[in-house]
Structure 1
């Protein structure tokens, strides 16, 4: 994990000039709060305050970074030496460590610290029904690196970005995916058509209301990002809804800690079966609220339509689970927390499927000329890869 962190988006770069036997080196580090790297969670992209000062704590063998917001971070000398980014220690073309562990001085020291630059990145921003949704031009995102970078940074930070100006015809989500890399294939295909269909194999393929949900919790690794493109809109109804699931999870943690603990500790069964791209029968066990080792919310897994009738938990936990889930769903559904918008033909919404819950109001179906959205999935690995490449191309970040 530690070597991964050194390659993360730069939040403060400093040069650690070590003892006479060591070369000057540039070490890029993320700001992750008042803790050592060994105990730190993986950071979100960017999002730190600026660096105020950096100093070596020789007795503790730590480098201390003080940030403009008053917090500080501690970095062990040995870890810094192990993760030196200079050409002698890192194969730049592969961004891989070339320093042999047998050559690592685990008792290395530090003579002085020089602050080289002070970059400010991104942090996730919570929102509610008053969200001013970030909006971009579809064609500019396709053809301009700065526009594409702004789109992906806003997607990571806010969790939802609206694109306008796409042709009102199928194929646009695939075009947009090529700006990143490639689509994620699922049992519903590379892309899928959200329409009112006879004998629907998914509740989304009806004209009824869709309650707030994340897509595909029936998979152990649900898709990270979702695209939805409006080809045709209903004459009546069909408005879209979105809720910031991370914000709501933190609010639940404050308002009802017991419910938060239950939903983040009990695994719930989800299932999905049918035939589309191919026949399928998938099952998973997921927490409604996933947290990492530090208690930070990392993913929401909730879809009432695919929540299994199997409830694999001790009988004395059943009622507390239902009460906790009810509290969370009621919190999600409060009007002050739900952002509502109406897509028009040519509009395309992109959002974080691990963070947002989305829904739809019922609509009046008119057969062949009824509401039609085309959807697709990507994984965050591919999205973050493109974001880093664009940061380097546009800003020279390494």
Structure 2
């Protein structure tokens, strides 16, 4: 049995991240409270911890010392001489100058809230232990040093608290200026493909999948539990109109993604042809990211419009179910960096167009026509005639599928897997097999 997979489903590249911190095994618990400046007569435990420093002007240069007699200046000189990132600070922020000439600035309260030590971040669960609400809004360090292990900050607490922030973690967590963010595998590099992929489609054998966990990188079989969706888990269907959906007919289906009508559309989709006694019924696959790249190149304003205008969808063919997503969505969705992260499109299931500025209606339909031209261009369409025993796995947030009309009885089965589920499984496997770390995301 051969299974078509690879770039249809998971990304080929997962970014490599070095470990952010060595595990420590201490634990504290805290209580919430509102802090006031410490007094000589009476103060809470939290107030005793955070003692204010001498006042500064908000215009104090970033290179100035924090307090008289501090070792910050000397430490910064040592930082420069050792080739570590250049560190400077003022009353409000710490600045880290990277080797590429860019400087990232971090507010003091942000740094204290993101302390990486085991008292503040549980070493196993990676959950926050520091009590954010006990940190004074004007919290300041008494000492800032650049160490090989990272930025070391000593805080004005009693007793003193020392935080170490690994350099790579700081770089990936930069918000001023913002680092390119990627909280999921969507940030991995993608190889766009068109119809030419038919000459060498990525495949993996059933035996390879079953032999070891490494095979799961290439296929779905042992990833996680399947998602129930609205088809009742693992579905088996033919053209009997058992459900009120054109998928249960012998009609041709244009390129689309599934479950656009769910608030959380399925992530992976498995198709398995069991039998077909008749003609037609070819499977259509289109890389939505490839089509979107063509749209952006040829019709940039149409691309932008499809990332901005919200539409909705529905599944209303069964008497006992009515699916409508919680909120409208755009056909093309960008991530925080402005890069395409998801395609969500099924024109057959599209609901009334009502979440749109009236002045954009004509332009939106023009954009939709341009999108359809990109999807249906010969260089974008991959047509595959499946044989009994063939299975195909696709990333439903990227790859659109369809079919040609057919005659006779055509029996298919398949399943859905949630996007969070398969990406979680892939990250776990990347840690176990490729020894990659995701600590910088915590």
Superposed pair shares fold, TM > 0.5? yes
Instruction: State how far apart, in whole Å, the 1-side matches of 2:228 and 2:269 are.
Output: 12
* Aligned mate of 1:280, from 312, 322, 326: 322
Q: Identify the match of residue 94 of structure 1 among 100, 105, 125.
A: 125
Large movers: runs of 4+ above 6 Å: 14-17, 77-81
Q: Give the TM-score normalised by structure 1.
A: 0.69
Contact 2:195 2:380 in 1 (8 A): yes
Match of 1:170 in 2: none
State the shift of 1:355 in Å: 1.0
TM-score (normalizing by structure 2): 0.63
Bigger Rg over Cα:
2
Give the secondary-structure state (helix, strand or coil) at the position aligned to 1:384. Answer: helix
Compared with structure 1, are the counterparts of its residues 274 and 113 closer, same or farther at alpha carbon in structure 2 (3 Å cutoff)? same
Distance across 2 between alignment mates of 1:245 and 1:145: 29
Are 1:215 and 1:223, in contact at CA under 8 Å, matched by a contact in 2?
Answer: yes
Residues 249/106 of structure 1: CA separation in 2 closer, same or farther (3 Å cut): farther
Mark the CA change 1:213 to 1:16 in structure 2 (over 3 Å): closer, same or farther. closer
The one of 170, 191, 196 equivalent to 1:125 is 191
Instruction: Please list, as runs of the form range in 1=range in 2, the aligned pairs for 1:219-298 lying within 5 A after superposition.
Output: 219-275=262-318, 278-282=320-324, 285-298=328-341
Distance, in Å, in 2 between the alignment partners of 1:265 and 1:113 is: 45
Q: How far apart in 2 are the matches of 1:316 and 1:77? A: 43
Where does residue 53 of structure 2 map in the other structure?
none
- Distance change (3 Å), C-alpha of 1:224 and 1:361: same
The corresponding residue for 1:313 is 356
Question: Do residues 190 (structure 1) and 229 (structure 2) align?
Answer: no
Aligned to 1:109: 144
Q: Does residue 170 of structure 2 align to residue 135 of structure 1?
A: no
Structure-to-structure mapping, 1:1-398, within 5 angstroms? 11-13=16-18, 55-59=84-88, 61-62=95-96, 64=98, 76=106, 83=114, 87=118, 89-99=120-130, 101=132, 107=141, 109-113=144-148, 122-131=188-197, 132-151=200-219, 176=221, 179-198=222-241, 201-275=244-318, 278-282=320-324, 285-365=328-408, 370-398=409-437
Separation (CA, whole Å) in 1 of partners of 2:111 and 2:203? 40
2 CA distance for matches of 1:77 and 1:113? 22
Structure 1 CA distance, aligned partners of 2:242 and 2:435? Answer: 52
TM-superposed CA distance for 1:270, in Å, is 1.7
Higher strand share: 1
**Cα separation, partners in 2 of 1:321 and 1:122, compared to 1, 3 Å:** closer
2:257 & 2:214 partners in 1: Cα distance?
A: 30
Segments of 5+ residues of structure 1 without an aligned counterpart are 1-8, 18-22, 24-53, 153-175
Deviations 1:341-376 (A, max 9, x none): 2222222211111111111111222xxxx2111121
The residue aligned with 2:44 is none
Query: CA–CA distance in 2 between the matches of 1:84 and 1:235?
Result: 65
Provide the secondary structure at the position in 2 that maps to 1:204.
helix
Aligned-pair Cα RMSD in Å: 3.5
Deviation at 1:397, TM superposition (A): 3.2
Deviates more, 1:313-322 or 1:221-230: 313-322
Instruction: Give 1:95 deviation, angstroms.
Output: 2.4
Which residue in 1 is equivalent to 2:9? none
User: Could you say what secondary structure the match of 1:264 adopts?
Assistant: helix
Unaligned residue ranges in structure 2 (runs of 5+):
1-13, 25-82, 89-93, 151-165, 169-186, 438-442
CA contact (8 A) 2:235 2:414 kept: yes
Tell me the distance in 2 between the aligned counterparts of 1:385 and 1:340.
31
Q: Is the 8 A contact 1:65 1:73 kept in 2?
A: no
Give the SS at the match of 2:228.
coil
User: Structure 1 pair 95/236, CA: closer, same or farther in 2 (3 Å)?
Assistant: same
Change (3 A) 1:199 1:385: closer
**Structure 2 counterpart SS, 1:305:** helix
CA distance in 2, matches of 1:269, 1:331: 22
Give the deviation of 1:65 after TM superposition.
6.5
Inter-CA distance 234–355: structure 2 relative to 1 (3 Å threshold):
farther
Q: Contact 2:21–2:116 at 8 Å: present in 1 too?
A: no
Distance 1:63 1:221, change over 3 A: farther
Q: Is the 8 A contact 1:227 1:351 kept in 2?
A: yes
> What's the offset of the Cα at 1:204?
1.0
Deviation at 1:111, TM superposition (A): 2.2
Aligned positions, number = 319
Q: Do 1:271 and 1:282's aligned partners in 2 also have CA atoms closer than 8 Å?
A: yes
